[in-house]
Chain A
Amino acid sequence: MGDERVLLVDDEQEFTSVLSERLEARGLQVETASNGAAALEKVQGSSYDVVVLDLAMPGMDGIETLKRLLAQNPDLQVIMLTGHATVQKGIEAVRLGAREVLEKPADMTTLLAKISDAKTDKILLVEKRMEERIRGILQSKGW
């Protein structure tokens, strides 16, 4: 655990401020965004291991933000956080590619474990894609 790059997206800035302080104290690198548009902009310019995304936000909601984030970066690992997700919304988020949906307030130990797992999976995913590319190149050269 440690050195994961995390983007927290929530319109409750007091929440992202306190949570980022707690995560940083545990060695994570954390940035925050207060809406979907800001999150998309941040993800475009940086490489995050995990995005922790609120489901209900003003303007572009969590579901729309999730769609656009994954369209922009399909390897991105997204954990949804929600106050009161309906089962339908939760299923939709997972169907669209979210890793999981956690209910607020999330237990710190659980959240850290989920972030760590997400980073591990992202590394495996990136390695797998790299292997596929190398295999493709080798095949094109007759190997």
Chain B
Amino acid sequence: MPHRPFCEQDLLFFGATTASVSHELKNVITIINESAGLLHDFASAAERGRPLDPQRVKKTSLDISRNVERAVEIINRLNRFAHSADEPVRAVDLNAMVRDVVALASRFAGLRGRQIDAVVPGSAVTVSAYAFGLHQVLFRALGLAAEALPAADPIRLDLEPTSGGAILRISRVPIDLPEQARARWGELVASARELGVNVVQSGEGRDGAIGLVVPSAAP
């Protein structure tokens, strides 16, 4: 696959992603900061003669450790995403990619009161592809689904390995897309085509689905 030229859409996607991840990270750091402050409060109270409750101290320090792990996971996700643009084509584990993109898209979806349920196989599903492009295509497809589904419905995403690669299927997306989702359809199809990914609709009426057919090797 030829090296992709730098384009505005790529930059916007990269910007939106890093802004969202840094916001998420700031929230976790805020919790760590308050928990550390709480430990300081316990120590100050003990200095004034109030007995220290070991269970409260233990719980608070465990809360800090848990949130540090959460922050490390967010940073690792950001690091994987940043490296996704390194090479035009490389081995991509779709299983891991789906988890990362869903974690990212869930924050955007959550701000709109939506939930994303992803079902992935237990083992790696590896294809040869432009990782950054695939991230972007899946993110676009989830955004389109968010526009197309009724307000309270969760977005359901399945990753299914096939003999020729894999299908990423988003269920319950009506075949007749609402106007705002139709506007995104063209962008999705065009960006997917660049990667050799076919975008297909299946099912009937309100029980439709969007499938991203990912070949095992990029053209």
The answer to whether B111 and A15 touch across the interface, beta carbons within 8 angstroms, is no
Q: How far is the CB of B172 from chain A (nearest CB, A)?
A: 21
CA distance A90 to B41 in the complex (A): 31
The number of chain A residues with a CB under 8 A from chain B is 18
CA distance A55 to B33 in the complex (A): 19
In the complex, A87 has a CB within 8 A of chain B: no
In the complex, A21 has a CB within 8 A of chain B: yes
Of the listed residues A84, A105, A108, the one surrounded by the most CB atoms of chain B closer than 10 A to its CB is A105
The answer to whether A18 and B38 touch across the interface, beta carbons within 8 angstroms, is yes
The answer to whether B26 and A104 touch across the interface, beta carbons within 8 angstroms, is yes
Map CB proximity to A onto B34-45 as digits: 1 under 8 Å, 0 otherwise.
110110010001
- Among A110-134, those with CB < 8 Å from B are none
Question: Which residues on the A side are within 8 Å of B37 (C-beta)?
Answer: 18, 22, 108
Map CB proximity to B onto A36-59 as digits: 1 under 8 Å, 0 otherwise.
000000000000000000001111
In the complex, B22 has a CB within 8 A of chain A: yes
The answer to whether B63 and A14 touch across the interface, beta carbons within 8 angstroms, is yes
Question: Which residues on the A side are within 8 Å of B35 (C-beta)?
Answer: 18
Question: Which residues on the A side are within 8 Å of B26 (C-beta)?
Answer: 83-84, 104
The answer to whether A14 and B19 touch across the interface, beta carbons within 8 angstroms, is no
CA distance A15 to B37 in the complex (A): 12
Interface of A is mostly: loop
The number of chain B residues with a CB under 8 A from chain A is 22
Q: How far is the CB of B53 from chain A (nearest CB, A)?
A: 12
Map CB proximity to A onto B19-58 as digits: 1 under 8 Å, 0 otherwise.
1001100110111011101100100010000000000000
Whether A25 contacts B111 in the complex (CB less than 8 A), given A15-B31, A84-B19, comes out as no
In the complex, A3 has a CB within 8 A of chain B: no
Whether A25 contacts B41 in the complex (CB less than 8 A), given A12-B31, A15-B34, comes out as yes
The answer to whether B34 and A19 touch across the interface, beta carbons within 8 angstroms, is yes
The answer to whether B22 and A84 touch across the interface, beta carbons within 8 angstroms, is yes
In the complex, B112 has a CB within 8 A of chain A: yes
In the complex, B110 has a CB within 8 A of chain A: yes
CA distance A15 to B31 in the complex (A): 5
The answer to whether B34 and A58 touch across the interface, beta carbons within 8 angstroms, is no
Question: Which residues on the A side are within 8 Å of B27 (C-beta)?
Answer: 12, 15, 83, 104
Question: Which residues on the B side are within 8 Å of A105 (C-beta)?
Answer: 29-30, 33-34
CA distance A22 to B31 in the complex (A): 12
CA distance A61 to B108 in the complex (A): 12
Q: Which 4 A-B pairs have the closest CB atoms?
A: A105-B33, A83-B26, A18-B34, A104-B30
Given contacts A18-B34, A56-B23, 6 further A-B contacts (CB under 8 A): A18-B63, A25-B45, A56-B111, A58-B113, A59-B113, A83-B30
Chain A: residues with CB nearer than 8 A to chain B?
12, 14-15, 18-19, 21-22, 25, 56-59, 61, 83-84, 104-105, 108
Of the A-B pairs whose beta carbons lie under 8 Å apart in the complex, a sample of 29, sorted by A's number, is: A12-B30, A12-B31, A14-B63, A14-B67, A15-B27, A15-B31, A18-B37, A18-B38, A18-B60, A19-B34, A22-B37, A22-B38, A25-B41, A25-B45, A56-B23, A58-B111, A58-B113, A59-B112, A61-B111, A83-B23, A83-B26, A83-B30, A84-B19, A84-B22, A84-B23, A84-B26, A105-B33, A105-B34, A108-B37
